[in-house]
């Protein structure tokens, strides 16, 4: 997992380096500033608990006006909300993901839309329980080391310029992915989002906020 994460970072850096040569400036680097925070603020109410999500971005313009490419590699580690009424009351997850989007921007208003492929490699740990009123409950454990999901993500974003270098991006995103194999449904899939009760076809959407810094 660590090796793969390092590999993705190297890829990201090299793509960024070559992008600066091939494509026109400016180049933006960004990071998601919202994901994971509610899980620390409302650990008992939010659908994930104490979840670390690191999602950096690189965005550079293509030679066509109003067109750009966004590349991101992310990491998420945490656990889902505890629900004692379920057979699997909570899940622990850890995963890395890679996303790319081809983006088009409106030239008059700062609204952009993007769509592109994504894939995620994640691991899940959980305990399941069988009620045993006579002899006591049985608790078993389940560990899915590496689960692969691949699909696409689309978004609509609004860019708010803070100053010459910094901008905030508010976006609505939707991801759809396929996860081969008959494994227990993940409560949260890193890179995709809330996927409770979805085992093979994963679909999730949400809002997010990203902070971008203009490099050149």
Partner 1 sequence: MGTTIPTLLLSLEKQTFNYSTMKKLLPLLFIIVVLYGCVDCGPQQELTVGINFHREKDSLHLNQVYALGALDQQIFNKQTEDFNNSRLFLTLAFPISLLTDSTTYVFEFENRTDTLTLFYQRDFYYKKDCGFVVDTKKPARSEDSKSTFSKVNVSYDSYLMEKVTFTGGTGGNGINVDVTL
Task: Using CB under 8 A, list all residues that contact partner 1.
Answer: 87-88, 128, 130-136, 138, 140, 142, 182-184, 199
In the complex, least distance from residue 161 CB atom to partner 1, rounded to whole angstroms: 49
Q: What angle do CA 151, 153, 159 make, to 5 degrees?
A: 165
User: Do residues 148 and 175 lie in contact, with contact meaning Cβ atoms separated by under 8 Å?
Assistant: no
In the complex, least distance from residue 122 CB atom to partner 1, rounded to whole angstroms: 17
Q: Which of 95, 53, 98 is nearest to 210 (CA)?
A: 53
- Per the DSSP assignment, residues forming a β-bridge with 93 are 78, 124
**In terms of CB distance, is 116 or 185 closer to partner 1?**
185
In the complex, least distance from residue 191 CB atom to partner 1, rounded to whole angstroms: 23
Beta-carbon neighbour count of residue 160 at 10 Å?
Answer: 11
45 is written with which tokens? 């109410």
**In terms of CB distance, is 110 or 185 closer to partner 1?**
185
- Tell me the C-alpha distance between 21 and 126, whole Å: 46
In the complex, least distance from residue 184 CB atom to partner 1, rounded to whole angstroms: 6
């Amino acid at each position: 997992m660590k090796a793969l994460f390092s590999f993705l970072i190297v890829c990201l850096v090299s793509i960024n380096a070559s992008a600066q040569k091939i494509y026109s400036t400016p180049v933006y680097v960004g990071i998601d500033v919202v994901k994971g925070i509610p899980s620390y603020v409302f650990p008992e109410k939010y659908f994930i608990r104490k979840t670390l999500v690191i999602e950096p971005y690189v965005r550079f313009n293509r030679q066509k006006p109003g067109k750009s490419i966004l590349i991101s590699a992310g990491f998420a580690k945490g656990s889902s909300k505890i629900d004692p009424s379920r057979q699997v009351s909570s899940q622990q997850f850890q995963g890395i993901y890679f996303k790319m989007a081809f983006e088009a921007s409106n030239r008059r208003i700062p609204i952009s839309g993007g769509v592109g492929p994504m894939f995620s490699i994640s691991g899940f740990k959980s305990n399941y329980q069988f009620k045993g009123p006579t002899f006591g409950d049985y608790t078993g454990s389940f560990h899915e080391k590496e689960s692969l999901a691949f699909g696409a993500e689309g978004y609509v974003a609004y860019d708010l310029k803070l100053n010459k270098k910094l901008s905030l991006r508010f976006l609505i995103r939707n991801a759809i992915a396929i996860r081969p194999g008959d494994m227990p449904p993940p409560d949260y899939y890193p890179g995709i989002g809330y996927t409770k009760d979805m085992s093979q076809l994963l679909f999730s959407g949400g809002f997010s906020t990203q902070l971008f810094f203009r490099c050149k």
